[in-house]
Amino acid sequence: MTPFYFGGGGRRLFGAYHPAAFGSEATRAAVLCHPSGGEYLNAHRTMLQLAAKLAAQGFHTLRFDYFGTGDSAGDAIEGDIAGWPADIEAAMDEIRDIAATTTVTLIGLRLGALAAARVAVQDPGKIDALVLWDPIARDGVAGVPAAELDALLARYPGRALMLSTAQGPARTQRSSSLDGQALAGLSWAIVEDVEPWTDRSANAGLVPVKAIQQILTWLA
């Protein structure tokens, strides 16, 4: 994994690049979109392991921090959710340059899923697959009202996965997540992944193994 900074225009962002495993036939790229606040901290290990496993499966993978969050530039009060889609676009540009690809798989967790959905609406031609993991559904968040998500995701027939976990890596209540039944034409997976969240083979500690495996299998 290579840690680095990228982006300009006053929005310098921290990124962690996981190169695709040597010898991978496919050259695909993925960007992971973190949740926010305490969920970001709690899910850090999960996103790291997901990135490592995507890389092992042949994806050039980029994790990054939004402006005003994590290791990226900016104070917390300078960062706002409205700016996240632009940060995701910058991350997509970066990984496309690195991987020499034209499209990117976008994977978002919680609030990161909503921001990823926003980008998917704006630039459907740049995204080859979309994974929304326990997305928060509150009207107005990231500019994507929950009622509109169905229509948005219909633009990705067979290329969007809605993943709902019994206890997400962000340790939040499922009740605030989107009601998947309202979304037609969408791959829908529920992972009852309460325990154990361990992957000793990867020395990864506690991570939601089944949920990560679900994503990897769906993308394979």
Partner 1 sequence: MAGVIGEPREQAVRLGTQQALVGILTLPVPSDGSADRAVVFLNTGVMHRVGHHRMFVMMARAVARSGYFALRFDFSGIGDSEPRTDGLSPVASCLADIGDVLDWLQQERGIRQVTLVGLCSGADHAILYGHGDPRVTALVLIDPTVPATPRYYGHYIRQRLIGPSNWFSVLTGRSFILRSLAEQLRHMLGPARDMHRVTLQNLRFHPILEQSYRNSVARGIRLLAAFSQDSTRQTYREQILDAFPNLTFGDRLQLEFFRDSDHTFSAREDRARLVELVLAWLGPARMAAAADRET
Contacts to partner 1 by CB under 8 A: 1-5, 10, 12, 14, 16, 41, 44-45, 48, 69-71, 73-76, 78, 203, 205
Nearest approach, Cβ of residue 83 and partner 1 (Å):
13
* Nearer CB in complex with partner 1: 40/156: 40
Structure tokens at 121: 């609406």
Backbone angles phi, psi at 116, to 5 degrees: -65, -40
Nearest approach, Cβ of residue 25 and partner 1 (Å):
27
Strand order in the sheet with 160-165: 2-6, 13-18, 59-64, 28-33, 104-109, 127-133, 160-165, 187-191
- Contact between residue 110 and residue 32 where contact means Cβ atoms under 8 Å apart: no
Residues 192 and 214: their CA atoms lie apart, in Å, by 11
* Nearer CB in complex with partner 1: 61/69: 69
Nearest approach, Cβ of residue 15 and partner 1 (Å):
8
Nearest approach, Cβ of residue 42 and partner 1 (Å):
9
Residues 41 and 39: their CA atoms lie apart, in Å, by 5
Nearest approach, Cβ of residue 215 and partner 1 (Å):
20
* 3-state secondary structure (DSSP) of residue 152: helix
Residues 123 and 167: their CA atoms lie apart, in Å, by 31
* Nearer CB in complex with partner 1: 35/135: 35
* Nearer CB in complex with partner 1: 67/133: 67
* Nearer CB in complex with partner 1: 4/140: 4
